[in-house]
Amino acid sequence: MRDKIHPKYEEAEAKCACGETFTTRSTTPKIHVDICSVCHPFFTGKQKIMDTEGRVEKFKKKYAKKDQ
């Protein structure tokens, strides 16, 4: 590899919008993220659905099992 062409890869502090901070490695000293493993629905098990136009209810109504 050639010398002096790669950026320094050092420890960085990452801060989430939920307030969680953790240490990782990056070429920038500080990182701001919108979602992390503490608040992500996949890791928490809580599903957050943003339904402003009633699409979820419409889908559930359309594909609901009918009594036979």
> What would the pLDDT profile of 14-44 be if each residue is shown by its tens digit?
999 888 999 999 999 999 988 888 887 777 7
Q: Which range of residues forms the domain containing residue 25? A: 1-45
Distances (CA, A) of 58 to 50, 54, 66: 14, 6, 15
> Considering the domain boundaries, does residue 55 fall inside one?
no
Percent of the chain with pLDDT over 70: 84
pLDDT surpasses 80 at 56? no
Q: How many structural domains does the chain have?
A: 1
Given strand 21-26, what is the order of strands in its sheet?
21-26, 10-16, 30-33
> Considering the domain boundaries, does residue 10 fall inside one?
yes
